[in-house]
Amino acid sequence: MDWSTLTSIGLKMLGINIAFVVVLMIVAYTVLAERRILALIQGRLGPNRVGYGGILQPFADLLKFIFKEEIVPDKATKFVYFLAPMIAIVGALMTIIVYPFGPEMNLPFIGVVKLVVAQFDVGLLYVLAITSIGVYGIALAGWSSNNKYSLMGGLRAAAQLISYELSLGLALVGVVLLSGTLDLYQIVEQQSGYWWLGGVVPIPRWNIFPQVLGFIIYLISAIAETNRVPFDLPEAETELVAGFHTEYSALKFALFFMAEYVNMFTVSMLAATLFFGGWNFPWLDLLVARGGFLFGLLSVIAFLAKVLFFLFLYIWLRGTLPRFRFDQLMNFGWKFLLPVAILNVVLTATVVFAILYFRA
């Protein structure tokens, strides 16, 4: 292999490591932020003893999981029991490689670099395919534990995730029809620039404006996909057990816990990428020359700010809304959300066809 090939492979490996380290650190501190914000909403203090303001609490939790006694049920199907949490966390982490964190940047001593680990034509299809694997980890965990409560939690999770995955996928079809591509990098690039209202007022070319209905469907479906309040039925706290991960402890339980928060982060990145312009931010290209190092750095900060906003929204909803009953959850998904998602696809396709027809 020549030097350029080795450099390309080295940059890819460096990008993968940086992406995963950054994501895992954000996930760790999202847990701390959730505990502190929920405490604020509920009139409590939250964790504030380990480090200044509790800033080292995630590392204390990690040490606790590492040294905690690990208990494996005697009647569990051992191979599947150990495999399930690995399926959950690997499926959650694999999608990170296709999300563009920022535009091309001209880095010193390296040259022009795209801030995405892997860019390919069907990136969105890859995300939908990999995220659907997570249901196997949950269902297998419930079944392999040989616990009836765990099994019921796993079955509820499988039914919930499959039901809302349909609506989530259909909500993204509108964006695909508008952009004409499944490449996430190109979708973000197409959202740069502005529409000019009356030739005077600039409006960012974000997909949220023509796809408000699609975004609402996506947001509701994403909350259900990540098993968060008010759609956290698989955890079954009302049954005094933890649902599908009742029989898990120590690091295996931590993997399920981490997978949930990584999924929160990835669906937040997908929302920012598809509907809110990705790294694009209003008037940023007017203030800083597009393509420069400062523009790239501010674009990355803008993208992460959008992702953090969605993570805050997740936490806010958890501290605000009550849990649905399971029959309400399924009725809402199949009888309301799915028909509305289909209607959004039909309307978007009609408008796109009409625009192309009259242009021709």
Give, for 62, the enclosing helix (H) or strand (E): helix 57-67
CA distance 233 to 235: 5
Picking from 244, 221, 226, 82, the residue whose alpha carbon sits closest to that of residue 153 is 244
State how far the Cα of 98 lies from the Cα of 243, in Å rounded to an integer: 32
DSSP code of residue 283 = T
| 50 part of a folded domain | no
State the pLDDT confidence band at 13, using cuts at 50, 70 and 90. confident
Helix (H) or strand (E) holding 161: helix 148-179
- pLDDT-based confidence at residue 309 (cuts at 50, 70, 90): very high
Spell out a b/e string for 187-204, using b for 16 or more CB atoms within 10 Å of the CB, else e.
bbbbbbeeeeeeeeeeeb
**111 occurs within a structural domain:** yes
C-beta of residue 329 within 8 angstroms of C-beta of residue 234: no
Is residue 44 one of the residues assigned to a domain?
no
Cα–Cα dist 187/212, whole Å: 17
Q: Is residue 87 within 8 Å of 133, Cβ to Cβ?
A: yes
* Coil, helix or strand at residue 162: helix
Does residue 53 belong to any structural domain of this protein?
Answer: no
Which tokens is 336 given?
């309301």
For residues 281 and 299, the answer to whether their CB atoms sit within 8 Å is yes
27-63 pLDDT per residue, tens: 889 989 999 999 999 888 888 888 888 899 999 988 9
- The pLDDT of residue 345 is above 90: yes
Amino acid in the structure at residue 171? A
Identify whether 147 is part of a domain.
Answer: yes
Q: Is a pLDDT exceeding 60 seen at residue 237?
A: no
Q: How confident is the model at residue 132 (pLDDT cuts 50, 70, 90)?
A: confident
Residue 328 corresponds to which tokens in the numbers above? Answer: 């309400």
d(CA 47, CA 56) in angstroms, rounded, equals: 10
Domain limits at 331? 70-359
Domain membership of residue 33 (yes or no) is no
Reading the block at residue 165, the tokens are 């995955």
Look at the pTM and tell me if it is higher than 0.75. yes
Q: Write the CB contacts of 334 (distance below 8 Å, at least 6 apart in sequence).
A: 163
Nearest to 76 by CA among 249, 329, 241, 213: 249
Q: Report pLDDT for 268.
A: 93
- Kindly state whether residue 127 falls inside one of the protein's structural domains: yes
Q: Which of 94, 184, 172 is closest to 133 using CA atoms? A: 94
> Could you read off the pLDDT of 248-262 as tens digits, one per residue?
988 888 898 889 899
Pair 138, 119: CB distance under 8 Å = no
Is 151 contained in some domain? Answer: yes
User: Structural domain tally of the chain?
Assistant: 1
